[in-house]
Structure 1
Amino acid sequence: MVNLNQSNTPKSEKDYWRTPKNLIGDAQMLLNVPQFSVDVCAKDAETSIGLATAYIDESIDALSPLVEWDKNNIVRNERYHCKHLPMFCNPPFSKKWEFFQKAIEQSKSSGHKILMVMPYTPATRAWHENVLNQDCIIYVPDGRYQFLLPNGERSQNSCSFETCLILVVPFKCGNVIVNYKRNF
């Protein structure tokens, strides 16, 4: 069977697509928050989402068992760091499931909510192995977001798969699915 949804992105850039502002705005509206506490997967200060009070950059292995996402490993931005706000994570595509599993672990151990930007692929084995039976709220948009190129410019094409926002929560709820209209 031929895969018709092949990406045209060079392998060296696949992990560096940037989060569009309209996705971040929708996330704020959905969670009713003014900003996020930690941007878990920033390449550097420039690529950190502007609405995070702190970030973890590439110099820190955020997947290391020794790294806790809201402890001494974060770089604080110039405003007050609000630990009670949810964390934000648009993981490198090649390590999306590793980051998802770490988010579950971090949420359970710290009591934080963590919003993940993930491919919406509920018919796949990976989705069943990772997302089903977890405590998370899955926000499914009415269409695709157009992610930004690593240099911050708009891409000519949108990504070749659906995207969703998954809020990993530290309380029992199973999988809850919420459909929403983008840019509301």
Structure 2
Amino acid sequence: MAHLVKSKTVEGAKNKWATRWNCFFDAQFLFRRDTGKEFVLDVAAEPQTAKVNRFYVAPDWINEQPSGFPSLKLKHKAAQLLNPVCVGFDGLQGEWEDGWWCNPPFDLKFEFLEKALEQARKGRDGMMLLPHEELTTWWLDLVEGYATMIYKPDGRYPFYETDGHTKKQGVNFGSALVLFTEKGLQTPSMRFNRKVGRTHLTGIYEQIAKVA
């Protein structure tokens, strides 16, 4: 995997950057506003990092767990409120649902983008959180000219470690929210203010926002 930028982040930790709740709230608001739909499935998550109450986990996650599966004990109060349920393994192999959310591992961006395009062509709309790198090959090949909309925040989003609780250090890159639908071919972009999603929460996410 080509590194985004030079950093001192431990090599093994570079691959997974868990979504913070404010970022997800923004994505949720923009997705609902522009598609009229809700997120129903997180296709690249772990118990501690899922942002939708149903998620797919990578097969290797099980092999990484110590005896007793302590990672199943949710640490963040927001995750405890959400209480997500694993409904499948390996988002790259299974079918997604209409209303998917995806923050892919860095070294699988290309594969998840290909899968996102495949699912969008089947009428299954969704959104990805991606490093905002418009001049990279993967962006030019799989985002520009294929995504429905690129949402550019007014600053960088922070991230969690894989425990879904600890703030990730060394966030030296910007991110963008990218919408994929069956209609997307022109790839316009728009600016938005971070935390706009907090003013448009419904259901369990109103409670989550109080502790996130």
- For normalisation by structure 1, the TM-score amounts to 0.79
The one-character-per-residue Cα deviations of 1:75-103 (angstroms, maximum 9, x if unpaired) are xxxxxxxx5xx210000011112101100
Which residue among 172, 183, 186 is the counterpart of 1:174? 186
Percent identity, please: 32
C-alpha distance in 2 between matches for 1:39 and 1:20: 14
- For normalisation by structure 2, the TM-score amounts to 0.69
Which residue type is aligned with residue 100 of structure 2? M
Counterpart for residue 81 of structure 2: none
- Cα RMSD between the aligned structures? 2.1
The one-character-per-residue Cα deviations of 1:1-60 (angstroms, maximum 9, x if unpaired) are xx99313222222222210011011112222378511000012x23211xx241111132
C-alpha distance in 2 between matches for 1:177 and 1:36: 21
- What is the aligned residue count? 161
Which one has more relative contact order, counting CA pairs under 8 Å at least 6 apart? 2
Detail structure 1 runs of 4+ shifted over 4 Å in the superposition: none
C-alpha distance in 2 between matches for 1:5 and 1:14: 11
Which residue type is aligned with residue 49 of structure 2? T
1:131 aligns with 2:160: no
SS for the counterpart of 1:116 is strand
Counterpart for residue 24 of structure 1: 24
C-alpha distance in 2 between matches for 1:4 and 1:57: 24
Counterpart for residue 96 of structure 2: 69
Which residue among 34, 42, 45 is the counterpart of 1:42? 45
Structure that is richer in helix per residue: 2
Q: Return 5+ residue gaps in structure 1 as ranges.
A: 71-82
Counterpart for residue 102 of structure 1: 115
C-alpha distance in 1 between matches for 2:48 and 2:135: 35
Q: Give 1:156 shift.
A: 3.7
Q: Give 1:133 shift.
A: 2.0
